């Protein structure tokens, strides 16, 4: 349960942890979390079926009654520039780990905390 006064960073960390568990249940292998390089950060790097996924986790906690936010609205908060930075940073990870030959995909994972007891997780493939 989300307590009043939690920061956005705490919500983000909690959402990333939840998404990592969700990915594992869907048979993804987590290769890295919060991979940082001077070009940016990738929240989660995961693989499944010979494809590496650069995962961006976005979450929102709606305020007030009836203010539910859609997964599309959450995903729309990611700019083309941010997606480019994710891809560039992810490709650096691939090179460092010797995975250059694998296919890649960017996946936006949204977590909607409208109901803190049952957050909604949605995967939105980008490319």
Per-residue pLDDT, averaged over 41-50, amounts to 96
Residue appearing with tokens 């990333």 = 16
Structurally, the chain folds into a number of domains equal to 1
Q: What percent of the chain has pLDDT over 90?
A: 57
Q: 44 lies in a domain? A: yes
Q: 47 lies in a domain? A: yes
Span 66-86, pLDDT tens digits: 455 555 566 677 888 999 999
Q: 1 lies in a domain? A: no
The answer, yes or no, to whether residue 6 has pLDDT greater than 90, is no
Enter the tokens of residue 101.
Answer: 């030959």
Q: 40 lies in a domain? A: yes
Q: Return the pLDDT at 63.
A: 52
Least confident range from 23-32, 62-71, 104-113: namely 62-71
Average pLDDT over the chain reads 86
Consecutive H or E run containing 123: strand 120-125
Find the domain containing 75 and state its range.
8-125
Between the alpha carbon of residue 53 and those of residues 20, 41, 80, the distances in Å are 12, 14, 17
The answer, yes or no, to whether residue 1 has pLDDT greater than 50, is no
On whether the CB atoms of residues 79 and 87 are closer than 8 A, the answer is no
CATH number, domain with residue 63: 3.40.1350.10
Q: 103 lies in a domain? A: yes
Q: Which residue has the higher pLDDT, 106 or 4?
A: 106
Q: What pTM was estimated for this model as a whole? A: 0.84
Q: 121 lies in a domain? A: yes
Least confident range from 6-10, 34-38, 88-92: namely 6-10
Q: 49 lies in a domain? A: yes
């Amino acid at each position: 349960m989300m307590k009043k006064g939690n920061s956005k960073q705490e919500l983000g960390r909690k959402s990333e942890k939840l998404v990592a568990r969700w990915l594992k249940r869907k048979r993804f292998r987590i290769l890295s979390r919060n991979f940082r390089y001077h070009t940016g950060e990738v929240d989660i790097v995961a693989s499944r079926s010979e494809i590496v996924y650069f995962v961006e986790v976005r979450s929102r906690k709606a305020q007030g009654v009836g203010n539910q936010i859609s997964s599309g609205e959450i995903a729309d908060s990611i700019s083309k520039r941010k997606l480019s930075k994710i891809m560039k940073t992810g490709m650096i990870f691939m090179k460092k780990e010797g995975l250059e030959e694998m296919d890649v995909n960017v996946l936006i994972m949204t977590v909607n905390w409208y109901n803190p007891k049952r957050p909604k997780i949605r995967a939105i493939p980008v490319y």
